[in-house]
Amino acid sequence: MKRVAIAGVGLIGGSFALALRQAGFDGEIVGVSSPRTIAEALSSGVIDSAMALDEAAGWADLLFLAQPIRRIVEMIPLIGASIGKHTLVTDAGSTKATICAEAGQHIPAAQFVGGHPMAGKETRGAASADPSLFRNRTWVLTRDCDHPFVDWVRRIGAHVLILDAEEHDRTVAHTSHLPQLVSTALACTVDGVELRAGGPGLIDMTRLALSQYEMWEDILATNPEPIDAALGEMIAALGAMREQLRGAGLREEFERAAKMRRRLVTPVQLR
């Protein structure tokens, strides 16, 4: 793998480029994005040069799609029309079923693998790119893939996990999307309360509430059924806790929750 094209050189795409360099990649890295984003990525040393999408799809050994989900879906037919014979296409979308279904219609199966690096920040853009962003993080792939890309994912410090698209979306509805919505709901609930009486627990629990809606809009729109199911389970759990509030029945829930929390150690570090 000597030629990498990154469509969307913001936080995730830019961090991937910097992580490759830090891990010893000595090939060429080009960016596909808006003029403003390209200028920022060039000035930050994230990419070597810029290229149009159709040109990049025919040129690259690896084409990494790191834009919002709907933009990825829109680009896939264009890629399919110009993809090179040896180009592998992957993506960083936070949901997989919609993207993989679209790819199945336009890109040869052997040349596409869905991906989701479980990493991020509340800030975006190439200026926020961090070569250590994926270290000790899970990087989901939708199938086994015999390509140097997978070796590079491991070399930049990520842990590869194979999940098909539907299983991925059901899983992250609980482990990523639900925490975001719970954090947002908590912040909205507490809004207007005297905050000077709060503690660090509130700060920890509302960290994800800083996330921008623009980043989450596509996620919520492309994974509604699994998210609805996860929210239903959460609402039921809160309802059960509410019913037991004046009794002594919450010990089991506290002990179960503490046991689960202790399992959240490396290499499983979810955002």
Is residue 270, in this structure, part of any structural domain at all?
Answer: no
Per DSSP bridges, beta strands 62-65 and 28-32 are unpaired
Write phi, then psi, for 254 (nearest 5 degrees): -60, -45
State whether 7 and 91 are in the same domain.
yes
130 CB burial (10 A radius; 0-12, 13-18, 19+): middle
Can you give the residue range of the structural domain that contains 145? 3-164
Q: Are 107 and 137 within one domain?
A: yes
Question: What residue ranges of the chain have pLDDT lower than 50?
Answer: 266-271
Check residue 265 and give its pLDDT. 62
Bridging pattern class, strands 115-117 and 112-113:
unpaired
Phi-psi region of 270 (alpha: psi -120 to 50; beta: other; left: phi over 0): beta
Rounded Cα distance between 231 and 233, Å, is 5
* Contact present, 5 and 25 (Cβ < 8 Å): no
Amino acid making up residue 25 = F
In this prediction, residue 266 carries a pLDDT of 46
Q: For residue 217, what are its two tokens? A: 């809009």
The pLDDT of residue 155: 98
DSSP one-letter code for 67: S
Question: How many domains, in total, are found in the chain?
Answer: 2
Residue 268 placed within a domain: no
As a whole number of Å, the CA-based R_g of the chain is 20
Taking phi over 0 as left and psi of -120 to 50 as alpha, with beta for the rest, 211 belongs to beta
Token pair for residue 139?
């990087």
Shared-domain flag, residues 139 and 156: yes
What digits encode the pLDDT tens for the residues 235-255? 999 999 999 988 777 999 999
9 and 116 fall within a common domain: yes
Look at residue 3 in the predicted model and tell me its pLDDT: 98
CA separation for the pair 78, 118 (Å, rounded): 27
The answer to whether position 85 is within a domain reads: yes
Mark whether 14 and 70 lie in a shared domain: yes
Residue 134's CB is within 10 A of a number of other CB atoms, namely 21
Burial class (CB in 10 A: 0-12, 13-18, 19+), 35: exposed
Could you tell me if 133 and 218 lie in one domain?
no
Domain termination site, one of 139, 164, 189: 164
Q: What pTM did the predictor assign?
A: 0.89
**Whole-number Å distance between alpha carbons of 147 and 115:** 13
Predicted confidence at residue 264, as pLDDT, reads 80
CA 44/CA 38 separation, integer angstroms = 10
- Tens digit of pLDDT for each residue in 193-211? 888 888 899 999 999 999 8
Question: What pLDDT sits at residue 123?
Answer: 66
What length does the chain have? 271
Question: What CATH number does the domain containing 234 carry?
Answer: 1.10.3660.10
Q: Are 38 and 45 in contact (CB under 8 A)?
A: no
How far apart (Å, rounded) are the C-alpha atoms in residues 153 and 150? Answer: 5
User: Does the bond joining 77 to the residue before it have cis omega, within 30 degrees of 0?
Assistant: no
